[in-house]
Structure 1
């Protein structure tokens, strides 16, 4: 879809971008179209009533100030107050309706954006920073939707106000109208001059804004690292540099556009001066009355307000349109991991899991796995070991389809994992990571993530097997204890055992343990290892571990080096291989004293 920033200026002036963007947003507006339309219809008289007040100024001047008509002196002020009261009431209703509709649309867009974010594949998050996500998935929705409704209300009100006010001007004097409208047209035309100067500034402002968001997020999440390495001054310098960039962009915006409103004001003032000069001779000649002049000036001043603010509003409109385009760019993104049209439901794992001639690259032609072949019978435990960067975590990431293979196949009971629905595939897999993510909420909430429909008995069994019962019993609120964002109030071992309980509750056929104990001290590791042994019973297990002491009892140990399987077998058999890769790893960790 054509980007708003590349469209000819004529389209913007004629309103075409507005129409295009409203068409884009129509699916979100449609559920609330009645209130939206009612808000628009009520905005019509709000604008039109400006002209009524200006029109009354003629009668007030001619009949009250000049003719001294006592009845009109009472009648006209009362009517003006009545019209202003009606206008104020309608203004409140329009604002309320538009705020309600705008908020509803914003919520709908945010919900859809969040749903879109949830469907994106792991590779997307590998290359997208948090500041970008916050700007694109949250702030853009607010800018687009509120800007959309606000601009629509503004345009409708001001268009009808301008039309009726120009009617009042023409009614009082077509000659003076020609002068005034000519000045307004010249002032409005200045927007063409600044249009292209704004485009790059708006883009850069959004980019820098996302970087600022990322800085706040990194400081929050990395606060301990900042403190531990005394990075306060370094982070402060980086942020100051960023804020200087924001300042430069803001000043650039003012430098390139700040003159717009003052110059427009000056041009319109020249028009007003010409109107006063021309009207003086017209009043003397009797071409117009004093009332005509007063009414004309009142209408002209009312018309001046929207023209004067047009330059500032143009920036807001540009940002709203840009945000709409950015939102729909996100909606058009395709996730690389999705269900096939004829995907089937996986109802269990009965025979084996097989990696068949698997190649995988995160980046084109840079393969992390190379012609990998591996067979894992149901109910067995396979351990993946090797040097860092050998592809161990990548192997287990292909099974739940966090990524898809570049070449080859991953099979469950002879069926390609791509032939199963993602939900049913992942329902049969439980993963315990090295650094398990815990959500804000209670212990109960975080354990039940494994299977929200689990019974209380299932929950108790999972807690027992994960060796959490003593810890939970020591808490005043037990399972209903709030653990803070990312489980900050828990120790590393406690977080791991919560994750293990989560995996128990899931009751999956396949368990993946990705460095599940490598970040723990010896005491914590011992407790967690007992919990893991409970979890591994009667399941097909993939274990990734640097500490070889945790995998010596595996049914099969697979040694990976630079993406290839270099050895596989049982612990005792691998140690017997002369100059073997596994033996070298083992001896490096457990050197015996001679």
Structure 2
């Protein structure tokens, strides 16, 4: 039997240790910041506790002096004292509520800022491993955990515990024997609450995860509603979300059962204690003539003590829920960015903008290399194009230049400086990036262009839009540059969003420009306009462009054919097209005949 109980005993000790460490962290991070405000709130709570005890204590004089002795001298003073006690209690209740709400709201705001700052510092691989919608939903549910932990602890200690202590003091002062009878209810209730809290911890975490998945699924449906309707996925998604909702509902019901399970036991034990006290005190009053005022004061104190005692009994259960939320917030805040700047990292100094890959090795997963000793030089002020079959490593090159990931072997140099030895911020300040799927943020058209360089003037924003061939459609918008965009710019066409993305890159005015399939998803007219914008953007910059359409790179200063993480061919368009049986010439032939069985066969040959 002893061997079977040991693991649970160890587990409970570890859980208690975790709770203590978590509480220490919450108070160490926030206690000093709000020390003065919590002091005021505690003072108000002390007033509430003291006036509550005073109301029980004064009942003895009310009964004995007014109703028994019929003392006219106290007929006015005692009611006034009771009125003042209630008035002070009401004012103290108001101010403690206002102060604690302000503290709680500020704590939520602080941790929201801290979380957002930390999320922007985390590496790209964190977001590839975690679904953004699930992450946002989970954070939204958990951010109040630290506030609830602090407020529950303060109110429970300063109001409920003090009220209970004061009222028990009144009870003992009135009658120690009856007090001992009433206090016998404490140990069994405490044992039961301790047992329930352990069950609640696991159930709460599961409920938070399930609710986060429900919210994340709804968010994804809203974002992809056109795909949902196009493929008639409504019923499939309804069934999937229905399963999550049912599971979340069942878990929430379990939490409710665990949380409220203390109610019947607490009420039953308290009822037995109060009934025993009333019966015994009544017997003594009848049999031995004890003062009715003393008995009434004792019973009043006992009844008033029941409410704070009941809240304290539920404190551990409520605190467990708050601590689970707080712990899940800290799990995010404690994540360390994998691409951290090295100690003493210098600012990148870009004089020319030459980029060199020196035997670079990289893979997203262990044992699955994407780049295998890749080496090349992108000359400063020139355009270098990367082409090849999908999955060959072209977009990986773009990601590594921006240091979204760290290389596993070799070096990436910008003007001879290893990008791992400089700060990420200084590296990225010198780079403008246009992706295959341009992302538009909440705000106006002007705001989205200005994200490229927040300090850019309106004139610079408009000049960038003109160079990006975007001025025509912007002026047709209801409010021009000040037109608000829908979610991810869905009110604009793909070509229009791409031109805004190019304008964002142009206003950045960076010496290095990275283009990742910037025209692959455009129609012919949009491609012509975007290509004109790109030609303008590429002037006097070091450009690395990834493209499948050869028409966009025929004028590149050098073309690198990437296959299986290695460069298999290199040269200009004229050089490569003239080589018999080259991979590049086969790509060119494929795009010259874009339809038919011959094209399909040629595509298969190129992939090989």
Could you state the TM-score of these two structures normalised by the residue count of structure 1? 0.94
1:309 Cα deviation after fit: 3.5
Question: How far does the alpha carbon of each residue in 1:497-538 deviate from its partner, in whole angstroms, 9 at most, with x for none?
Answer: 111111111111111111111111111111111111111111
Q: Is the 8 A contact 1:431 1:512 kept in 2?
A: yes
SS in 1 for 2:358: strand
CA displacement, residues 365-389 of structure 1 (integer Å, 9 cap, x when unaligned): 2211111111111111111111111
Residue of structure 2 in register with 1:8 after alignment: 13
CA contact (8 A) 2:394 2:546 kept: yes
Q: SS of the counterpart of 2:438?
A: coil
For the 8 Å contact 2:354–2:415, the answer to whether it is kept is yes
**1:515, 1:544 within 8 Å by CA — same for their partners in 2?**
yes
Distance 2:95 2:20 in 1: 24
Aligned with 2:282 (options 273, 280, 283): 280
Alpha-carbon displacement from aligned partner over 1:308-349 (angstroms, at most 9, x marks no partner): 344544332112222222333323211011222222222324
Q: Indicate the residue corresponding to 1:219 in structure 2.
A: 221
> Contact 1:188–1:307 (CA<8 Å) still a contact in 2?
no
> Once the 2 structures are TM-superposed, how far is the Cα of residue 22 of structure 1 from its aligned partner?
4.6
1:449 aligns with 2:451: yes
CA distance in 2, matches of 1:439, 1:29: 37
Partners in 1 of 2:148 and 2:130 — Cα distance?
Answer: 26
- CA distance in 2 between counterparts of 1:27 and 1:197 reads 28
Are the aligned partners of 2:353 and 2:512 in contact in 1 as well (CA < 8 Å)?
A: no
- State the secondary structure of the residue aligned to 1:209: helix
Query: What CA deviation, in whole Å up to 9, does each residue of 1:96-140 have, x standing for no partner?
Result: 111111211221121111110110110001011124422454432
SS of equivalent residue, structure 1 residue 513: strand
Query: Contact 1:466–1:500 (CA<8 Å) still a contact in 2?
Result: yes
Number of the residue aligned with 2:601: none
Q: Larger deviation: 557-566 or 166-175? A: 557-566
Contact kept, 8 Å, 1:349 with 1:412, in 2: the verdict is no
2:559 alignment counterpart: 557
Counterpart-to-counterpart distance in 2, 1:473 and 1:571:
38
Where 1:199 maps in the other structure, the secondary structure is helix
1:287 deviation in Å?
6.8
* 1:358/1:119 CA distance change after superposition, 3 Å: same
Give 1:300's aligned residue: 302
How far the C-alpha of 1:286 sits from its partner, in A, is 3.2
- 2:484 aligned with 1:482, yes or no? yes
**TM alignment of 1:572-591, pairs within 5 A:** 572-591=574-593
Q: CA deviation at 1:153?
A: 1.7
Q: Which residue of the partner structure matches residue 433 of structure 1? A: 435
1:20-169 aligned within 5 A: 21-169=23-171
Q: Does 1:186 align with 2:188?
A: yes
The CA deviation string for residues 395-437 of structure 1, in whole angstroms up to 9 with x for no partner, is: 1111111111111110112210112221211111100011111
Deviations 1:73-110, CA, capped at 9 Å, x for gaps:
43322211110110110111111111111211221121
Question: Which moves more between the two structures, 30-39 or 225-234?
Answer: 30-39
- In structure 1, the residue matched to 2:606 is none
Paired residues for 1:301-340 under 5 Å: 301-340=303-342
> Aligned partners of 1:514, 1:437: CA distance in 2, in Å?
13
In structure 2, runs of 5+ residues without a counterpart are 1-9, 599-608
Question: Which of 404, 407, 413 is residue 406 of structure 2 equivalent to?
Answer: 404
1:7 to partner: Cα distance: 5.5
TM-fit CA distance, 1:184 = 2.9
Residues 526 and 250 of structure 1, relative CA distance in 2, 3 Å threshold: same
- 1:170 correspondence with 2:182: no
* Distance in 1 of aligned mates of 2:514 and 2:410: 21
**Whole-Å separation in 2 of the counterparts to 1:9 and 1:44:** 34
Give the drift of 1:483: 1.6
- Cα deviations by residue, 1:553-575 (Å, 9 ceiling, x for unpaired): 21111112222222221222222
Q: 1:265 to 1:275 in 2, by over 3 A?
A: same
CA drift of 1:272 comes to: 1.2
> 335, 355, 358: which one pairs with 1:356?
358
Give yes or no for contact 1:122–1:403 (8 Å, CA) kept in 2. yes
Mark the CA change 1:572 to 1:375 in structure 2 (over 3 Å): closer, same or farther: same
Cα distance in 2, alignment partners of residues 19 and 411 from structure 1: 45
Unaligned runs of 5+ in 1: none
Tell me which residue corresponds to 1:416: 418
Say whether the 8 Å CA contact 1:51–1:164 is kept in structure 2. Answer: yes
Distance 1:136 1:311 in 2: 29
In 1, Cα distance between equivalents of 2:21 and 2:407: 44
Residue 388 of structure 2 corresponds to residue 386 of structure 1: yes
Contact map agreement 1:558 1:567 (CA 8 A) in 2? yes
What is the distance in 2 between the residues matched to 1:92 and 1:404? 55
**Is the partner of 2:456 in helix, strand or coil?**
coil
Call closer, same or farther: CA 1:348–1:332 in 2, change over 3 Å.
same
- Provide the alpha-carbon RMSD of the alignment: 2.2
Q: Which residue of 2 aligns with 1:465?
A: 467
Given the two structures, how large is their TM-score scaled by the length of structure 2?
A: 0.92
1:423-462: per-residue Cα shift (whole Å, max 9, x none)? 2111111000111111111111111111122234422321
Range with greater deviation from structure 2 (532-541 or 145-154): 145-154
Residue 228 of structure 1 and its aligned partner are, at CA, apart by: 1.3
**Correspondences of 1:501-580 after superposition (within 5 Å):** 501-580=503-582
Can you list the C-alpha shifts for 1:229-251, whole angstroms capped at 9, x where unaligned? 11111111111111110121122
Q: How far 1:352 sits from its partner (Å)?
A: 2.1
Q: CA deviation at 1:9?
A: 8.9
Provide closer, same or farther for how the CA distance between residues 201 and 194 of structure 1 changes in structure 2, counting only shifts above 3 A.
same
Secondary structure of 1:31 counterpart: coil
